[in-house]
């Protein structure tokens, strides 16, 4: 294991699809959808296991239709989907030999992960699973005094008889089951490291090694080493064997993108809730509007990252209606403008004050969020090298204006959007600027 040699060429090949994809769906679903106060409800309300276990009796998954989920994702323009196979509460949506606390023992009697992976593949999307390293249900996981365990404040749950190695055996077995019984997985999202529980405390090298052997080409996130905070050892010159393949900022877009210690841009994926919770929440109606999420997707891409946008299906398995509506609207925009997203990344230009720029090869995509007075000023390009400008959504040609109004700014290319002072798409109107080669 000490022989681990990071292979950057192999790494870059492995992450290529992910950087092309740019947009994925996160799905948080489990027993916590029943109390419907978010997926940390056991922690926040310090609920004991016996009380929480009773939710299992109600878990019918009555409307669970992962084909529907996958279709919603696809129509939104998402290219991959990541489902919580197990969250911190320890409830497994998959069949496992390690515990009875699983979907196949609940009234639904279904292996929800199997149906999920098949449905997602059938829609031609990449398959990802989220797996919690924490397990608040396992008797050998630290209880009293742990930073997050629901029984952290209860001395009756002391840890004397707990054997963390036994927990690790179980956890490794569960990951092995996921990597063995469900066909090809494209991505595994571990969650998460904290305090001393990081890296080798999870037997991380062994775990990562097993996963990569069972699932050649799979992507791992960086949370065997860190959490939403921190980069992990991939940022250093000597990545550890359990290094992740991408950085996972959570509920924040890195203000300046993400670079490693040598200054190289890193692969990253920001994950975001649509309202204020990952798991279904009965009274959280504070959804981010589609127009905002479109711009935030663009912001991620313009900083070289992906967006993993979350939905929290209700107890029956329905994606909440506001989420469905928002995704439909994003999909409408993507159908006309996804060329400015897929395979695009940061541009070698300064951010314009009307919006943002993404780039792929010799094409720049100027995302106009804000009306300008008159033509759109495009800075940083050599006018002689501009081959053509098009409105991305319709493909119509956009002329460069030469009017005396603009004579004071000879180094700026002014793109003429015509007589209407209002942008044709106020959420984000995209201009494709194609440069001459060479």
Binding residues (CB under 6 A) for ligand GLC: these are 28, 39-40, 191-192, 228, 250, 271, 278
Minimal distance in Å, beta carbon 28 to ligand GLC? 6
Least distance in angstroms from the C-beta of 343 to ligand GLC: 25
Among residues 272 and 369, whose Cβ is nearest to ligand GLC?
Answer: 272
Can you tell me which residue has the tokens 């023992």? 105
Q: Which is nearer to ligand GLC, 80 or 278 (CB)?
A: 278
Alpha-carbon span 201 to 180, nearest angstrom? 24
Nearer to ligand GLC, 26 or 64 (CB): 26
Please say which residue, 278 or 429, places its beta carbon nearer to ligand GLC.
278
Q: Annotate 40-54 with b (16+ C-beta within 10 A) or e (fewer).
A: bbbbeeebebeebbe
Least CB distance to ligand GLC at residue 40 (A): 6
| DSSP state letter for 129 | E
Q: Which is nearer to ligand GLC, 228 or 332 (CB)?
A: 228
Kindly list the distances between the CA atom of residue 251 and the CA atoms of 27, 115, 147, 186, 229, in Å, as whole numbers in the listed order. 15, 29, 21, 23, 10
Ramachandran angles phi, psi of 421, nearest 5°: -75, -15
**How many C-beta atoms surround the C-beta of residue 313 within 10 A?**
23
Beta-ladder partners of 433: 364, 389
The nearest distance, CB 18 to ligand GLC, in angstroms, is 16
What is the C-alpha separation between 212 and 335, in angstroms, rounded?
35
Helix, strand or coil, per DSSP, at residue 156: helix
Do the bridges between strand 386-391 and strand 305-311 make them parallel or antiparallel, or are there none, so unpaired? Answer: unpaired
Give the tokens for residue 89: 């509460």
Shortest distance, CB of residue 195 to ligand GLC, whole angstroms?
14
Query: Shortest Cβ distance from residue 403 to ligand GLC (Å)?
Result: 50
Residue 192 or residue 364: which is nearer to ligand GLC going by CB?
192
């Amino acid at each position: 294991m000490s022989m681990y040699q990071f292979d950057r060429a192999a790494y870059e090949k492995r992450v290529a699809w992910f950087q092309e994809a740019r947009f994925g769906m996160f799905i948080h679903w489990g027993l916590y959808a029943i109390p419907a106060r978010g997926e940390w409800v056991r922690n926040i309300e310090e609920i004991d296991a016996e009380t929480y276990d009773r939710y299992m009796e109600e878990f019918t998954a009555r409307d669970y239709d992962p084909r529907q989920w996958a279709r919603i994702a696809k129509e939104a323009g998402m290219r991959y989907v990541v489902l919580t196979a197990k969250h911190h509460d320890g409830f497994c949506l998959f069949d496992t030999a390690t515990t009875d606390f699983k979907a196949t023992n609940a009234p639904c009697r279904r292996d929800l992960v199997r149906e999920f992976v098949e449905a997602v593949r059938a829609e031609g999307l990449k398959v990802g699973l989220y797996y919690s390293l924490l397990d608040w249900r396992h008797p050998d996981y630290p209880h009293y005094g742990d930073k997050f365990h629901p029984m952290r404040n209860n001395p009756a749950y002391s840890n004397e008889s707990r054997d963390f190695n036994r927990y690790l055996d179980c956890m490794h077995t569960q990951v092995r089951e996921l990597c063995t019984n469900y066909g090809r997985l494209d991505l595994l999202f571990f969650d998460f490291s904290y305090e001393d529980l990081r890296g080798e405390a999870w037997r991380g090298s062994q775990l990562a090694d097993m996963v990569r052997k069972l699932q050649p080409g799979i992507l791992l996130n960086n949370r065997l080493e860190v959490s939403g905070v921190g980069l992990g050892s991939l940022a250093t010159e000597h990545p550890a064997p359990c290094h992740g393949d991408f950085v996972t900022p959570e509920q924040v877009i890195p203000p300046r993108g993400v670079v490693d210690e040598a200054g190289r841009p890193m692969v990253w994926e920001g994950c975001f809730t649509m309202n204020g919770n990952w798991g279904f929440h009965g009274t959280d109606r504070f959804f981010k509007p589609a127009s905002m999420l479109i711009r935030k997707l663009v912001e991620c891409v313009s900083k070289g990252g992906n967006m993993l946008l979350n939905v929290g299906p209700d107890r029956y398995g329905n994606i909440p209606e506001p989420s469905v509506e928002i995704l439909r609207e994003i999909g409408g925009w993507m159908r006309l403008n996804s060329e400015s997203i897929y395979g695009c990344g940061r541009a070698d230009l300064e951010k314009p004050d009307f919006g943002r720029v993404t780039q792929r090869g010799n094409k720049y995509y100027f995302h106009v969020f804000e009306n300008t007075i008159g033509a759109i000023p495009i800075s940083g390009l050599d006018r002689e090298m501009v081959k053509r400008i098009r409105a991305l959504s319709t493909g119509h040609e956009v002329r460069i204006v030469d009017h005396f109004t603009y004579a004071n700014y000879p180094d700026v290319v002014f793109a003429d959007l015509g007589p209407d002072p209002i942008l044709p798409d106020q959420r984000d109107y995209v201009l494709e600027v194609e440069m001459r080669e060479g």
